[in-house]
A and B are shown apart, each in its own frame.
Chain A
């Protein structure tokens, strides 16, 4: 199967569509370039070829369900197989200055509202899947906060995939414009029910204006037969702070590219990540933080787990431009291999052209500590539970930073509950 052919069959942008010229340009770029191959640095560890066709529906298992997060009573938009589920969506009681619309509504009524954001993805260096989404997306969420507006209760935008989907592809798109001094908390949820074999190609574009605060959670719990490719762009203005937490558990292939652009002094970005690649899963994160202005700050903490023959990839690029003096950048990538067949590749890449900066990075790949395991067992805790407890402990540094309580509790339960699932084989140490 040819992804591009399938996409253009399912989502051909018609010439009369809104910002059709931009969409056509994006699609032309994709056509000219083709799909990336492992010869490109960004795709070195992720070969798309084996994922060309649909997954095996009969073997596609669901992750622990995060659907309880749709019962918090807060504002939410729910899409099922790419189509709005109006009954489960609720945008009543949004505070003044907060506007949330579906993408389809915006495309009908005011396409100019997102034309500028979408135009970014026609650029020469736009990531190919981001360009594809920008060219073809039909529905999703457009969130606009006027200057000073605050949405305290998190907005949930959920993309649910089921075995009943008639299309192979879904193209979730979320566009956020946070005005000056505004504050927003957003959960972008991707979930696949058992039997789902969707190819999701998601894009989220967040522009945070002067002094704004954005807390973004991205929970990816696609079914094990799904392919999930995501792009996230964070534009961070003067004195703005954006924290984005990527929590990735699902998909046979899951890939997320994050581009954080610190464009003005005082900007701060927090990128936290937690991924768990079990048997048959490949989860790849590529993050790029661009310190394009002086006096900007970045904190990055990724924790990775791989069990069975699972595979994890983390690449953390930090670019400090020549004039970006007095910046501070901290990056840590810590990973645990839970079985002899698991593999995690982690690659910090710091490119620093300014001379008055504070940069620190650290990357580790290890196994569960045998001494700690014995300590817990000697207290009466069964081996499987002791292992789950150590894994749980390993993830806490990231989980604790999740301020949205229902999500934090869901994570804690899911991670602690991994004692109930069969744990991967391990090599017995000679005794």
Chain B
């Protein structure tokens, strides 16, 4: 589904990703772990098309298409979703209104007609219930006045409505206490599907206790330096990153 080859990315002339290779097949959960400053968030942002990054080499293919040639909204239309580390507050625009615009934007990209308003509301209500989200949050401005946990849950809720093929979770665990973390992880697990892949970017392994990955990759100095099964995350938790960095150096 997602094939990244020799990806090189700069920010303000400074190389961040230096030849990253990654292959995520359909239906799998891949975790990206790594020390601070290794390029984890850069990878998440580049996949979603955030402005401010310069790709200097390599390629990213998504279902065979050149993802890097697409605008952020086209990527969403193709089925890419980024759950933000810091979800953005948008005053004056309510959650449901934004979601409807988003869903219709994606449907338009796929040549589908706009969704029927009644059908949409039913879907949304069913999904709020499934995620244990308060219905009152739906009519509040996007993320405004939400607690940290509510913001992250709102990201997962948006994901559940937009039904992406590839969900990139950027440090979704940051700032969450253990209860909120479990609720968010349960939401993600509900959405696991043979046709859907997840790229879970995280600094700590505790998230992976709840969202169990198929493969764990270690990102350091802009490259994947080691990949392994789930147990690799536990080893990193116990031993840190230094032994790996030294082995590479």
Does A112 lie at the interface of the complex (its beta carbon under 8 Å from any beta carbon of B)?
A: no
Q: How far is the CA of A380 from the CA of B53 in the complex (A)?
A: 20
Q: How far is the CA of A101 from the CA of B116 in the complex (A)?
A: 48
Cβ–Cβ < 8 Å partners of A369 in chain B? 88
Does A371 lie at the interface of the complex (its beta carbon under 8 Å from any beta carbon of B)?
A: yes
Q: How far is the CA of A169 from the CA of B60 in the complex (A)?
A: 63
Does A375 lie at the interface of the complex (its beta carbon under 8 Å from any beta carbon of B)?
A: yes
Partner of B72, one of A377, A385, A397: A377
Q: 1/0 per residue A362-399: CB within 8 Å of B?
A: 00000001111011111111110110011011111100
Q: 1/0 per residue B59-90: CB within 8 Å of A?
A: 00000000000011101110001101001111
Q: How far is the CA of A377 from the CA of B48 in the complex (A)?
A: 9
Write the nearest CB–CB distance from A301 to chain B, whole angstroms.
13
Does B91 lie at the interface of the complex (its beta carbon under 8 Å from any beta carbon of A)?
A: yes
A393, B90: Cβ atoms closer than 8 Å: yes
Does B178 lie at the interface of the complex (its beta carbon under 8 Å from any beta carbon of A)?
A: no
Does A16 lie at the interface of the complex (its beta carbon under 8 Å from any beta carbon of B)?
A: no
Partner of B92, one of A370, A376, A383, A393: A393
B50, A379: Cβ atoms closer than 8 Å: no
Cβ–Cβ < 8 Å partners of A394 in chain B? 91-92
Cβ–Cβ < 8 Å partners of A376 in chain B? 90, 98, 101-102
Q: What are 17 A-B contacts with C-beta separation under 8 Å? A: A374-B48, A374-B51, A375-B90, A376-B90, A376-B101, A377-B76, A378-B81, A379-B76, A379-B81, A379-B99, A381-B98, A381-B102, A389-B97, A389-B101, A394-B91, A397-B92, A429-B51
Given A372-B88, A385-B101: A378 in contact with B51 (beta carbons within 8 A): no
Q: How far is the CA of A376 from the CA of B82 in the complex (A)?
A: 11
Partner of B54, one of A375, A381, A431: A431
Q: How far is the CA of A159 from the CA of B141 in the complex (A)?
A: 36
Cβ–Cβ < 8 Å partners of B84 in chain A? 375
Write the nearest CB–CB distance from B227 to chain A, whole angstroms.
27
Q: How far is the CA of A396 from the CA of B97 in the complex (A)?
A: 13
Write the nearest CB–CB distance from B242 to chain A, whole angstroms.
34
- The residue on B at minimum CB distance from A399 is B92
B92, A392: Cβ atoms closer than 8 Å: yes
Interface residues of A in 63-98 (CB under 8 A from B): none
Q: How far is the CA of A383 from the CA of B74 in the complex (A)?
A: 10
- The residue on B at minimum CB distance from A382 is B73
Does B201 lie at the interface of the complex (its beta carbon under 8 Å from any beta carbon of A)?
A: no
Partner of B105, one of A375, A380, A392, A397: A380
Interface residues on chain B, number (Cβ under 8 Å): 35
Which bracket fits the contact residues of A? 20 to 34
Interface residues of A in 382-431 (CB under 8 A from B): 382-383, 385-386, 389-390, 392-397, 429, 431
Cβ–Cβ < 8 Å partners of A375 in chain B? 84, 87-88, 90
Cβ–Cβ < 8 Å partners of B182 in chain A? none
Interface residues of B in 88-134 (CB under 8 A from A): 88-93, 97-99, 101-103, 105-106, 109
Partner of A379, one of B54, B141, B158: B158
Cβ–Cβ < 8 Å partners of B77 in chain A? 380
A382, B105: Cβ atoms closer than 8 Å: yes
Write the nearest CB–CB distance from B156 to chain A, whole angstroms.
13
Partner of A374, one of B50, B87, B98, B109: B50
A378, B98: Cβ atoms closer than 8 Å: no
Write the nearest CB–CB distance from B167 to chain A, whole angstroms.
12
Partner of A377, one of B53, B73, B162: B73
B102, A380: Cβ atoms closer than 8 Å: yes
Write the nearest CB–CB distance from A222 to chain B, whole angstroms.
26
A431, B51: Cβ atoms closer than 8 Å: yes
Q: How far is the CA of A369 from the CA of B92 in the complex (A)?
A: 14
Known: A376-B90, A383-B71. 7 other contacts (CB 8 A): A371-B88, A375-B84, A379-B105, A380-B109, A381-B101, A381-B102, A429-B52
Instruction: Kindly name the residue among B53, B87, B101 whose own CB sees the greatest number of chain A CB atoms within 10 A.
Output: B101
Instruction: Kindly name the residue among B48, B81, B92 whose own CB sees the greatest number of chain A CB atoms within 10 A.
Output: B92
Partner of A378, one of B76, B93, B141: B76
Cβ–Cβ < 8 Å partners of B34 in chain A? none
Given A375-B88, A379-B76, A381-B101: A392 in contact with B93 (beta carbons within 8 A): yes
Does B149 lie at the interface of the complex (its beta carbon under 8 Å from any beta carbon of A)?
A: no
B82, A378: Cβ atoms closer than 8 Å: yes
